[in-house]
Amino acid sequence: MAKDTLNIGLIGYKFMGTAHSNAYRQVAPFMGPALQPVMQVLCGRDAAGVSAAAAKMGWQECATDWREVIARDDIDLIDICTPSGPSHTEIALAAAQAGKHIFCEKPLAASLDDARAMLSAVQAAGVTHMVNFNYRRCPAVALAKKMIEAGELGEIYHWRSVYLQDWIIDPDFPLVWRLDKSIAGSGPLGDLAAHSIDLAHHLVGPIAAVSGMEQTFVKERPVAEAMGGLQATGGSARVPVTVEDAVAFLARFENGVFGTFEATRFAAGRKNCNRFEINGSKGSLVWNMETMNELEFYSRADEKAAVGSLAGFRLIQATDGSHPYAGHWWPPAHIIGYEHSFTHGVYDLLNAIAAGTPAEPDFLDGAKCQAVLEAVTRSIASSGWASVEAV
């Protein structure tokens, strides 16, 4: 009889490691995936830290060397929650070579070359691979996708997105790994705009060319001493910041859609404002992660009502059992949160592995996002437009 469980080895135990652990805990009781995840090993470099996290989140074992986890025959899937950048590539290449399925945090890599190498490795190994662009799996976003596919917006003219945070606006906030290019690869470009790019690819289509600009407002920061989530403490010595604080770019899509993107960590008061607006010939859609269960929809058809125009943005609560994912949780308007986007991702991944079908977004989607990130960097360096390379 085929095995109905999947043994997980999760590398990284902090913010994302906790979010993924929670998803593995929740997915079977609430969603009933085709394979049941077994929380086998949690891995991190700090023995005391990983042991405490494993006990808190319910992992059976913990380890401090990811290579040992990958070498184990009883591990089926490697989940990569280490800081974005070179560590994703190193671990994914080794995991693919060992024949493990891979779930990887975003952005996929630090460079397009690395992303291409990761894609080739998983394709050669024939394993299932997925990148955690989690916002695709908020019910309101998944509903937006269905509405666009059903033609509710008609021909799409505009993609307009911002991803705004403010957690490093204090010049004394320490230089954590997200502000170190050698670890993170980039600043809000890879950390935040990558989400918007993936959503744009998913909802509107591929980006062909970009023209960007960036700014680093605070050039030096205290060395970080400790970090958890998006909080940190630092010492008195200051070191140079090596990533941008804010980035924006114009985008031409292959299908003629006209796009704008902005991502910053300096938008005072904006905590996780991941927002897009799409305008089409028949109407518009608006979504904002800060009110994640709501989808705003304007339909031009409402302008022609018998009594006169009834047009206006209507607020759809994407919490009905008829909406994607929502039926697995609570009665309508008993809302869900950020963590559910991770649980939905794990659910789809487990079902894809069970069915032997591709997961999405996969490493190809991750590499396509990386190609846009790299084009933005090239365009900034040349102060002009840059084409997005084919993957």
Give the binding site for ligand SOE (CB under 6 A): 165, 191-192, 195, 230, 272
Comparing CA positions, the residue from 163, 168, 107, 133 lying closest to residue 290 is 163
φ, ψ (nearest 5 deg) of residue 156: -90, 130
> Judged by CB, which is closer to ligand SOE: 271, or 304?
271
Residue with tokens 């002009």: 384
> Judged by CB, which is closer to ligand SOE: 188, or 280?
188
Least distance from C-beta 304 to ligand SOE, angstroms?
A: 40
Using the Cα atoms of residue 46, residue 47, residue 51 and residue 52 in order, give the sign of their dihedral.
negative
DSSP 262-312: EEES--TT-SSEEEEEEEESSEEEEEEGGGTTEEEEEEGGGGG-TTS---S
> Judged by CB, which is closer to ligand SOE: 230, or 354?
230
Say how far apart CA 391 and CA 221 lie, in whole Å.
Answer: 36
Least distance from C-beta 194 to ligand SOE, angstroms?
A: 8
> Judged by CB, which is closer to ligand SOE: 69, or 197?
197
Report which residue's Cβ sits closest to ligand SOE: 191
> Judged by CB, which is closer to ligand SOE: 98, or 230?
230
Least distance from C-beta 343 to ligand SOE, angstroms?
A: 15
- Which uninterrupted H or E stretch holds 169? none
> Judged by CB, which is closer to ligand SOE: 6, or 372?
372
Say how far apart CA 372 and CA 386 lie, in whole Å.
Answer: 9
Say how far apart CA 290 and CA 271 lie, in whole Å.
Answer: 8
Least distance from C-beta 115 to ligand SOE, angstroms?
A: 17
- Which residues are 221's β-sheet partners? 239
Least distance from C-beta 16 to ligand SOE, angstroms?
A: 8
Least distance from C-beta 230 to ligand SOE, angstroms?
A: 6
> Judged by CB, which is closer to ligand SOE: 230, or 391?
230
Using the Cα atoms of residue 201, residue 206, residue 212 and residue 216 in order, give the sign of their dihedral.
positive
Say how far apart CA 53 and CA 277 lie, in whole Å.
Answer: 38
Mapping DSSP to helix (H, G, I), strand (E, B) and coil, where does residue 388 land? coil
Least distance from C-beta 254 to ligand SOE, angstroms?
A: 26
Decide: 259 and 200 in contact? Cβ < 8 Å. Answer: yes
Expressed in percent and rounded to 5, the helix, strand and coil fractions of the chain are 40, 30, 35
> Judged by CB, which is closer to ligand SOE: 39, or 131?
131
> Judged by CB, which is closer to ligand SOE: 270, or 368?
270
Least distance from C-beta 320 to ligand SOE, angstroms?
A: 25
Least distance from C-beta 286 to ligand SOE, angstroms?
A: 19
- Which residues are 285's β-sheet partners? 278, 297
Mapping DSSP to helix (H, G, I), strand (E, B) and coil, where does residue 251 land? strand
The torsion of the CA quartet 64, 70, 76, 82, rounded to 10 degrees, works out to 60
